[in-house]
Structure 1
Amino acid sequence: MRILIANDDGYLAPGLHALVKACEGLGEIEVIAPEQNASGTSNALTLSRPLSVFRAQNGFRYVNGTPSDCVHVALTGLLDYKPDLVLSGINNGANMGDDTLYSGTVAAATEGFLFGIPSIAFSQVDKGWGELDAAAQLARQLVEQVIADGLKQAFLLNVNIPNRADAASLPLRVTRLGRRHASEPVIQQTSPRGEPIYWIGPAGDAREAGEGTDFHATNQGMVSITPLQVDLSDHASLPTWAARLDRR
């Protein structure tokens, strides 16, 4: 078993170290993570400059790029083998609902999935790394289960774990993505040079958080596991648009 582990909080992040430690003994582990925190970079690949790969004292490798860069470089040249499993996380904060579109944690796992590799993204619901060891224990259990079931085909799972000491024994619930309200307004400030600068505002509150969603599951003290896909086609509206726009 060969496992590639990445994240978006950077190679020094406690969540990454906890996930690596939790997976020890499952097989050969390779860590390739961003040099710096790359949260919110989504599936971006760096095309405007070359990338460099460095090795930390603990053996982790890190890239001066995005989470997707890390996995892409690993799978297209850095590694001389194809991993059996790609893991990402454990992220410092939730990746649920609309957040998954922006998440670097989910993006790293998605990159593995795009290359035909079973991939899992792990996040804690609350920021601050509270009860991280328990979350890592849950991650270990889930990885063991998918390995035991057989990695017969590629899949992409997005896992959100409540920050609880009993996280490893919480119920598991397969969910769909909820939805958020629009983000809060940008925060405008003035730079030392007197120029206006802007900070992206906080994420909006959950607006679709009913039963069956990731928001509902974690609010009820369960671990949310959401199977994801990358097909963004609006299949339901294809006939309508074809009738309006198709030119024969």
Structure 2
Amino acid sequence: METLSLGQYDLIFNAFSFGFATLAAATLFFWLGIGQVKSEYKTALVITGLVTFIAAYHYFRIGQSWVDAYTLVDGVHVPTEKAFNSAYRYVDWLLTVPLLLIELILVMSLSRSETVSRATSLGLAALLMVALGYPGEVSDSGGVRWIFGLLSMIPFLWIVFQLYVGLGKAIESQPENARGLVRTARNVTVGSWCFYPVVYFAGAVGLEGPFATVVVEVGYTIADIIAKAGFGVLIYMIAMRKSEDTNDSIKTAVPAE
């Protein structure tokens, strides 16, 4: 734990506050929108809202832990005896990262067998990725951080391969009005996830001190907002587009009286 200036402390605290507010508002938006989509897409929106709800709860707890971890002394914030609990992030990721992949699979309307198979394999890979990253995150050794960081990149790269190659044909078979959004959702997933290792390895390449604390905490928060709330908006839009496409098809099939 580093001594922080007023500006550094407030920047991190405000980032946590903004993250909580954004994710809580996104939860309400997604769940209130469930009634606007066809039944086959409702589960995807339920999970989308569940992801942001879990994340909002953990950001509330992260904010509390941050306040407890510092006290103001002579114009600077110094650490207290209560250490900042960074484990909240990993508990959140263990729950939400697999669900992020599952909601994308569900909104694609694949066959039941393919949905179960891909959701299971991608979900387990996501769990392994997060679990492997945690020992390096809490270690003071740059070497340990590199080892576990590189190990966690193995399932990450496999997930990226599956999203771009394994699901390639499935994405091309999506309705034309939703196909571009599905591609964008995939790209946002991979793009936002690429931000996590950049922040993760910041300490391993020599970035340390108060500035490193700001980079890590604000960086992870930005990535979480994009990967969960931003990605969730795309899932909602895909569900809406595909619901509209179904409605249009039904109207076209019914002869005019």
- The TM-score range, normalised by the shorter chain, is under 0.3
TM-score, normalised to structure 1's length? 0.24
TM-score, normalised to structure 2's length? 0.23
Q: Quick check: which has more Rg, 1 or 2?
A: 2
Structure number with higher helix proportion: 2
Question: Using CA pairs below 8 Å that are at least 6 residues apart, which structure has the higher relative contact order?
Answer: 2
Structure number with higher strand proportion: 1
